[in-house]
Every structure is written in C-alpha cells, then in structure tokens.
C-alpha cells in the first residue's frame, strides 16, 4: 500500500476511534458524576453525625478536629474533579485521604469512614477501568503528515543553503585568482625571495664581524682597561657594528698587546670592518626598499584579502547550518520510519513511501 493511501485509511480509523473514545468518556463521566454525588452525601452524613455522649472531653476535641480536617480535605479534593481526566490528576490526593483520617475518627465513626473509603476505592478502580478501555479502543496518534512536511521543508532548506555555498565557493575561487594575478603581476614572490636573500646576507656579514670581535673579548677583559669601549665589548660584540669608527681606533690601540691568533682577528677588523658595515648598511637600505614595495603591493591586495576572509567565514557558518539541518533530516527520517512501522501494525499491511 502506498503511504498516501495508508494515511487516508488511518484518518478514517482515527475518526472512528475518536467517536468511540468520546462515547467511553461520556459513559464514565456520567458514572463519575454519580459517584461524586454519593461521596458528597456521605461526607455530609459524617459531618452531621453527633459525637456520642460517652466520648470523653479530650477525645471529643480530637475527634472534632479530625473530622473537620478530613471533611474539608475531602471536599477540596472533590471540588476540582469535573471529568475522568481531572480525576486522574487528583488520584494521588485521594489516595492520601483514603488513609488520612485520624484513628479516633475511625473509632467513633467507623461505618461512615469505611463507606467513604469504599467510594474512594471505587473511584480509583473506575479510573483504571477507564484508562484501560481508552487504551484498548484508542488509536495511537501519528503525525506522519507533519513529519513529512518538516522533511520537505528541511530538504528545501538544505538545497537552498547548498546553492548559496556553491555560489560563495565560486566567488572565493574568483577572488583567490584575482589575488594571485595581482601578486604575480606585482612580482610579490620575487620581492619576498630577494628580501629573504638580503636578510641572509645581512645576518652572515653581522655574524662574521661579531665572530672576529668575540676573539678579542677575553684578552680585553684580562687587560682591565676600564674604558667604555672595552667594557661594552666584553658585554656585547655588537659594539663593532654600532660604533665601527670608535671600535677600529680601539682595536688599533690594543693590537700590539694581542697574541698572534688574536692579532689576526684584530687585523681583519682593521682592514674589513668599515667595508663590512658599509655593505650591511647598503643591504639594509635595499631591504627597506623591498619591504616598502611589498607593503604597497599588500595594501592593494588588502581589500581582496578581507573579502576572502569574509567569504570563508560565511561559508563556514553556512556549512555549520547544513550539518545541523542534515542531522535534523536524519532524525526526521528515523521518526518517519518509526511512524510507518506503527502504521503498518495498525493497518496490518506493508507500506511503501
């Protein structure tokens, strides 16, 4: 049987079941009304009975209080019962009242209390019978139409967002291509490669100078010269690069007092330091020029980069939405399968979607 036909058959059965359930409710509600009237009558009788004269003073006071509390609690509980559904909600309260009378009240008015308890017990039995009959005659509520409708809506939402993601990804490819063309035409990669090479040459030249200067640290420390240049050299060989003129003069003064290996380092510094510093300064100037050109290119590409980030963020949000919707769709498909299984049990036939 096709699902559409099965739903039509289910709707017919549901309407028929609804009519039968309404008859059951009316039948039990009438019986409930009679039971409530009888209970109220018994309560009135209990309330109107005189306490026997032979009951002592303290017991009389206790019985009076117990009867007043018991009667009030019974009437309050019964006041909210209009039909079998409201009876079901009040059954826990009535169950407490079934045993909630005082022991002295039961001793003095045993007949009346037992009559009330019997009626309370019958109310409970009536509700159990009512519930069982509803369960037997009732038809499980299935909202397959609603589930199908939500499945269709979810599928449409998924399809719409997938189309949006596809458009965004196409735009992302275009922007990334535009960015690459800008950087390629501007020679960004070549500039960055040259910057790396210049930095490497600067590091190499500085390391060479500082290596030569480091060979003078120990002998200078032993000389205990006490002058600023000497103290600075002991702490940091970069003085040779910071103040090359003063440093060369200093090296020239101490060179005669150095040993052979140390003199070689000093001689190299005297002959090459000025040239090395000039070379380093040229390289730094070149690096600054390259950095400025790179920054200019990146400024031109900044708006493209920002749009790329925005679109990537939007794609991520849309994909998160898709994951939620696909999870929801999977859940709904499971609900639908379970609903169809129950419908097959109700109709006694196999159903095709």
Beta bridge partners of 352: 2
Q: Nearest to residue 61, comparing CAs of 98, 96, 102, 97? A: 102
Contact 144, 339 (CB under 8 A): yes
Angstrom distance (rounded) from CA 329 to CA 237: 70
| Model pLDDT for residues 282-299, shown as the tens digit of each residue | 999 999 999 999 999 998
CA distances from 269 to 99, 209, 232 (A): 110, 7, 17
Question: What are 255-285's pLDDT values in tens digits?
Answer: 999 888 899 999 999 999 999 999 999 999 9
Map tokens 């196409």 to a residue. Answer: 170
Q: Please state, in angstroms and rounded to a whole number, the distance separating the CA atoms of residues 279 and 197.
A: 14
Per-residue pLDDT, averaged over 106-127, amounts to 89
Average pLDDT, the chain: 90
Which is higher by pLDDT, 59 or 200? 200
Q: Which of 224-228, 270-274, 315-319 has the lowest mean pLDDT?
A: 224-228
Instruction: Name the DSSP letter for residue 255.
Output: G
Residue burial 309-334, b: 16+ Cβ < 10 Å; e: rest: eebeeebeebeeebeebeeebeebee
The residue to which tokens 């109310």 are assigned? 123
> What b-and-e string marks burial along 166-189, b requiring 16 or more CB atoms within 10 Å of the CB?
eebeeebeebeeebeeebeebebe
- For residue 110, the model assigns a pLDDT of 85
Residue corresponding to tokens 């419908």? 343
Burial of 32 (0-12, 13-18, 19+ CB in 10 A): buried
| 163-175 tens-digit pLDDT | 999 999 999 999 9
Cα 225 from Cα 30, distance rounded (Å): 120
DSSP classification of residue 50? P
Give alpha helix (H) positions in 84-143: 84-98, 103-108, 110-137
Contacts (Cβ under 8 Å, ≥6 apart) of 18: none
Distance CA(33)–CA(21), nearest Å, equals 18
Name residue 2's beta-bridge partners: 352
Determine what percent of the chain is predicted with pLDDT higher than 90.
60
Band (pLDDT 50/70/90 cuts) for residue 84 is: very high
Residues 150-159 have a mean pLDDT of: 96
Write down how long the chain is. 353
> How many Å apart are CA 166 and CA 161, to the nearest integer?
9
pTM over 0.85: no
Assess contact for 130 and 311: CB atoms under 8 A: no
- State how far the Cα of 307 lies from the Cα of 294, in Å rounded to an integer: 20
């Amino acid at each position: 049987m096709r699902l559409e036909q099965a739903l039509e058959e289910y709707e017919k059965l549901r309407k028929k079941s609804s009519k039968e359930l309404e008859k059951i409710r009316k039948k039990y509600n009438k019986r409930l009304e009679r039971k409530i009237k009888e209970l109220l009558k018994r309560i009135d009788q209990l309330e109107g009975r005189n306490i026997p004269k032979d009951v002592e003073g303290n017991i009389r006071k206790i019985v009076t209080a117990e009867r007043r509390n018991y009667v009030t609690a019974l009437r309050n509980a019964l006041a909210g019962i209009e039909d079998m559904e409201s009876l079901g909600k009040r059954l826990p309260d009535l169950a407490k009242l079934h045993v909630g009378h005082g022991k002295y009240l039961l001793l003095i008015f045993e007949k009346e209390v037992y009559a009330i308890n019997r009626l309370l017990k019958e109310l409970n039995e009536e509700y159990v019978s009512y519930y069982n009959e509803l369960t037997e005659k009732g038809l499980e509520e299935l909202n397959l139409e609603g589930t199908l409708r939500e499945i269709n809506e979810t599928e449409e939402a998924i399809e719409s967002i997938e189309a949006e993601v596809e458009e965004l990804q196409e735009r992302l490819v275009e922007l990334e291509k535009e960015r690459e063309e800008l950087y390629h035409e501007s020679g960004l990669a070549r500039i960055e490669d040259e910057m790396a090479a210049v930095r490497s040459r600067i590091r190499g030249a500085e390391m060479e100078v500082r290596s030569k200067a480091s060979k003078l640290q120990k002998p200078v420390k032993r000389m205990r010269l006490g002058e600023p240049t000497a103290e600075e050299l002991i702490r940091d060989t970069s003085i040779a690069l910071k103040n090359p003129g003063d440093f060369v003069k200093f090296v020239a003064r101490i060179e005669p007092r150095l040993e052979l290996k140390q003199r070689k380092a000093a001689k190299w510094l005297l002959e090459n330091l000025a040239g090395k510093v000039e070379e380093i300064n040229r390289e730094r100037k070149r690096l600054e020029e390259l950095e400025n050109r790179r920054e200019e290119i990146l400024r031109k590409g900044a708006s493209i980069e920002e749009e790329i980030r925005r679109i990537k963020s939007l794609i991520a949000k849309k994909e998160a939405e898709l994951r939620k919707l696909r999870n929801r769709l999977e859940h709904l498909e499971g609900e639908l399968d379970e609903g169809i299984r129950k419908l097959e049990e109700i109709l006694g036939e196999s159903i095709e979607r």
